[in-house]
Chain A
Amino acid sequence: MAVILLPSLLAAEAGGRKRFELDAKTVGEALRALPVAPLLFDEGGELRRLVNVYVDGADVRGAEGLDTQLTPTASVRVVAAVAGG
């Protein structure tokens, strides 16, 4: 199963859980299954602009985005963009 890793603020919103193991075929399917999905997607179902997602170290925006396929051993890391102040 793919492993999903969350940053600390999202982990706090997921009851303190930082790591999820999910049986999902794509990045989008995995992220939408998370309890913090409304924080990752806007009302239109689009991934928020400053949410970055890496699969095995590669930014999914350089691949197929939310349609990027996951292998059973994939590691998906959600990272907040470097922004704000």
Chain B
Amino acid sequence: MGVLLSIGTRKGLFLLSGDAEDGHWQLEGPLLPGWSVYHAVVDPRDNVLYACSNNWVYGGSFHRSSDLGKTWERTEEVGLPEESGLKLAATWHVEPGRRSEPGDVWLGGDPGVLFRSSDGGKTWEANQGILEHPTREKWQPGAGGMCCHSIQVADGAVYVGISAAGAFRSDDGGETWAPINANVAADFLPEKYPEVGQCVHKLLMHPGRPERLWQQNHCGVYRSDDRGESWERLDGNGLPSGFGFPLALEPESPDVAYVIPEESAENRVTSDGRLGVYRTGDGGATWELWSDGLPDQAWAAVMREGFASDENGVYFGTQSGSVWTAPRSGGWTEAARDLPPILSVEAAEWS
């Protein structure tokens, strides 16, 4: 069994199929030429390929393919109700729902909005709980806009991360959303620990221990073991910087996480002029650099969606168009290079 990487780029979608162990990869694309693909993922329930497609002229859109990109169907319309006074600026992240709910798919976008589909992404309905959230007036757009970029679906809970609004949890299927930002710093605000306004860069739930959440934030790396009720900051023990965007977990090891730190919010390139992946195997107590095979000197940037892992390996793509892959133990291989700026990487089983 190999892996299929969906590589969303500024100029289309690429598919990279192969195996992290033997290092042989085959590139296909660009698919959806002319579209910036902010995020793409294969739905593990039915192998439908979803893409958050955006164009500077034609706005935010969404495409789905039932034959892995040979043909595409565009969602007829994805937009916000006129009475909201908001307009969709971009689609950012698509998340398949629970296995027990075929066709259930979630979509995040800018300006801090969430949609849900019950027909596999053919039609979408804006989530009113997020759209009319009582704290919305306190949310501020970050450099990437006010994007809903993280959606995690568990049995009994749904989590979203919106920058710079914070993390939220719904325990009632998306009707209402509680801010879950306690102990998470917002150093850029006058009040350092507000209820909302934290700039979460990426939020992930561990699939095998769903009460455990991780987040790479504008102000540090955090872990929660109680569904976001409280957070522990983890970046003072081996990481060169608490600033960064991407985050990846190991599906079968709740104590393992990977980050790719950047120098600082003011200088958004890899720390110390080195492209380095940092791994913790003890829940964030310590971090170790994992850079075998990566260039010694590199001032790269990996976007928030540009990092993925599965039971076979770890994968990331850079804004300079390289895709790096590694088996769990071993060195990194440049599986593709000279692609357009990479916005997202997702891994799916492939045979």
Contacts and interface: CB of A to CB of B under 8 A. Distances in A.
Interface of A: 8-10, 12-13, 38-40, 42-44, 48, 50-51, 80-81, 83-84
A81 B57 contact: yes
B62 to A, nearest CB: 11
Interface of B: 33-35, 55-59, 61, 74, 76-77, 79-82, 87-88
Nearest to B126: A43
A84 B79 CA distance: 22
A79 B34 CA distance: 14
A44 B79 CA distance: 9
Given A9-B34, A43-B87, A43-B88, A80 B57 contact: yes
Contacts, number: 45
Nearest to B78: A38
Contacts of B79: 38, 42-43
The DSSP consensus for interface residues of chain A is mixed
Contact of A44 (B33, B34, B74, B87): B87
A80 B58 CA distance: 9
Nearest to A52: B57
Contact of B57 (A8, A13, A43, A51): A51
Contacts of A48: 57-59
A65 B230 CA distance: 54
A28 B39 CA distance: 33
Contact of A83 (B33, B34, B56, B82): B56
Contacts of A81: 57
